[in-house]
Amino acid sequence: MAVFNFSIHTASFCLIALFLILFSNPILILSSGTLDTTPTHTTATTNPNFFDSQISLYGDAALVDGGSSISLTSSSVSSYGMVMYEKPLKFLESNPRNGVSFTAHFSFSISGDKGDGIVFLIAPKDLASKFPGKDKFGITRDVRFFGVEFDTSMDGNVGDSNVNHVGIVVNNLASSSIVNVSGANLVLNSGKKLQSWIDYDASSKRIEVRLSELGTARPYDPLLGYSVDLGQLWKDEEVFVGISSSSGNSKQKSNLYSGRFVVRDVPSSLHSQPIDPSSIKEADQSSKRDGEQKNSFCPLSILAGLIFTTGCGALAAFVVLFLWVVFVDRHRIIPAEPDFKYENINVVVEKDMDDAKNLLNGNA
């Protein structure tokens, strides 16, 4: 006779299903209240509210498309245009040990003509009063500035090596460092919308430039890195940040679609421990990279790990029990109890052996 307990199977099945659900994502269930939804990477999007009263336009620069973008150059030959933030910046405040770092992120496009492209620049206020000059990007040669150029022309007089490069320029139009953008499978004057991140770290005194198509993730490795001490270059002088463009001898059009400039102070305690330039991530404090989040201590994750381990052990035990009940216990035959009863047996004991013999002889 086989015995099979259906309730045991049902309970085992339910417990196994429960642990499978926990197994699928235990950390998410336990930490859903503090789940960090900060994006891994930052990408630029058109922001109609970005171009407001905090910036000034110079030369041929003008708001277009209902104020959602800026046309830096017009469709005419030798056009110059610049956009500049009105809020000044000091790289060294009262305490020279406290440097200022920044992150700039903007999106732009350059048409297919071979003009000068665009340049991200940091310069004193007198640049605006002298703009536009007749030199490249509308900048006169007597103006001190620091810039990151996205150049689509080749001028051997300023060290250009090709018509598709990103370069660093310091106090003159000659490039101090150049990288060919073609190596990143990008063309500056393709007419496509591109985006760039420019990060400066005051503790390591290094600037890094990243470039990608709009809508793609921020590249982990920089396209160009350059060592420069902007604090030593500008000291406590007030400078301004802007983006300038010139079409050169062409009708090249350059447009700016979005932008962000974030400044952060570097604590003096960090100066004794410089940051490794190769490990510099995105500098915006409001959008930290996931690498920093992974290194943070989270007691809830440890608790979730312990519960997960315990659950796995319990799940294994229930699986063994379930298999035992299905394949072993159901075939076990319970032996039937034998039928028996009690009977009274009468035993006659004769007191006298002779009487017994006589009785036997008499019967015979």
* pLDDT tens per residue, range 245-278: 998 888 999 999 999 989 876 554 443 333 333 3
Cα distances (angstroms) measured from residue 356 to each of 345, 348, 350, 363: 21, 12, 7, 11
Which residue from 161, 196, 192 is spatially nearest to 179, judged by alpha carbons? 161
Tell me the percentage of the chain whose pLDDT exceeds 70.
Answer: 60
Burial class (CB in 10 A: 0-12, 13-18, 19+), 334: exposed
The correct answer on CATH 3.30.420.40 for the domain covering 41-265 is no
Contact 68, 217 (CB under 8 A): no
DSSP state of 75: S
Please state the φ and ψ torsions of residue 346, each to the nearest 5 degrees. -90, 125
pLDDT > 90? residue 120: yes
Contact 209, 222 (CB under 8 A): yes
Mean pLDDT of all residues in the chain?
73
- Domain positions in the chain are 41-265
Contact 179, 163 (CB under 8 A): no
Tokens, residue 146: 């620091």
pLDDT > 70? residue 290: no
Query: Position 302: which residue type?
Result: I
Residues 53-80: what's their mean pLDDT? Answer: 89
pLDDT > 60? residue 134: yes
Q: What is the per-residue pLDDT for 279?
A: 36
Which residue from 39, 46, 98, 37 is spatially nearest to 271, judged by alpha carbons? 98
Tell me the percentage of the chain whose pLDDT exceeds 90.
Answer: 28
Q: Which residue bears the tokens 């982990």? A: 220
Tokens, residue 54: 């905090």
Instruction: Assign 14 a pLDDT band (cuts: 50, 70, 90).
Output: low
Which residue from 15, 12, 8 is spatially nearest to 311, judged by alpha carbons? 15
Tokens, residue 343: 């009977």
Tokens, residue 192: 């496509």
- Residue 77: partners with Cβ closer than 8 Å, 6 or more residues away: 247, 249, 250, 251
